[in-house]
Amino acid sequence: MTTPTDITNTPDNIVCVFCGSSFGNSTEFADFATKLGESIASKNWGLVYGGGSTGLMGAVAKAVHNNGSYVHGIIPSSLVSKERKSSDELNNELKKSIDNHNGITPIDEYGKTTVVKDMHTRKKLMGQEAQAFIALPGGYGTLEEIMEIITWSQLGIHNKPIVFANVNGFYDELLKFISSSIKSGFINVKNGDIFKVAKSVDDVIRLIEEYQVPDGRFNLNWEES
């Protein structure tokens, strides 16, 4: 184990991981999250994520930070008490920083936390900081986050790698839905290549490194006039 890096030392490559604040009902999920965090750190990449210290969020953040890499958690003020298992004293300090909606406070031993006012700001900041996106298993929130990132790519807002970590077939049914949407003419065939699917941690890293932006995305101008 290496000494954790200074939280102000931001690496050039940062990946965003969307995942559940719960562990799920299989140890495979947490094991995968931990191994992913270790691999992210081994590449000297940083992590931006939803800021929780529970469930898969906590597992991946702990693994990245304990192996010496940058961790930045971004959490809405309303979720501090739900997705954080830290002491009441620390949570009270976090809540004191909410008035300005930009407070940065240590999250136990997992790097730094930025407290924001709402979910939209959380996603915007994660999207701006990350150079790639990974979806681990999770619930409604995880699905909403990764699908918006895919839509942003389709619309030409970004061209960054997107990878589903299909742990133990977790995303099989979602992938069937997307395939059905393509067959039914609601998603362009080429847009089906916006995201990649990995079954192992090594696959996740490789697919990020080898990612090629697919043809068929909308060439829209999102710059402010």
Residue 40: closest CA among 19, 62, 20: 62
Burial of 70-89, coded b for 16+ CB within 10 Å and e otherwise, reads bbbbbbbbebbeebbebeee
pLDDT band at 78 (very low <50, low <70, confident <90, very high): confident
Q: How many domains does the chain have?
A: 1
Whichever domain contains 58, its CATH number is 3.40.50.450
Q: For residue 39, give its domain range.
A: 14-209
Q: Is residue 3 part of a domain?
A: no
- Cα–Cα distances (Å) from 113 to 15, 88, 161, in that order, read 16, 16, 24
- Is 224 inside a domain boundary? no
- Name the DSSP letter for residue 193: G
**Percent of the chain topping pLDDT 90:** 68
The predicted pLDDT at position 12 comes to: 85
Could you tell me if residue 69 is inside a domain?
yes
pLDDT for 171 equals: 98
Contact yes or no for 85/27 (Cβ under 8 A): no
Under 8 Å between Cβ of 167 and 191 = no
85 in a structural domain = yes
Q: Is residue 9 domain-resident?
A: no
What pLDDT band is residue 94 in, cutting at 50, 70 and 90? very low
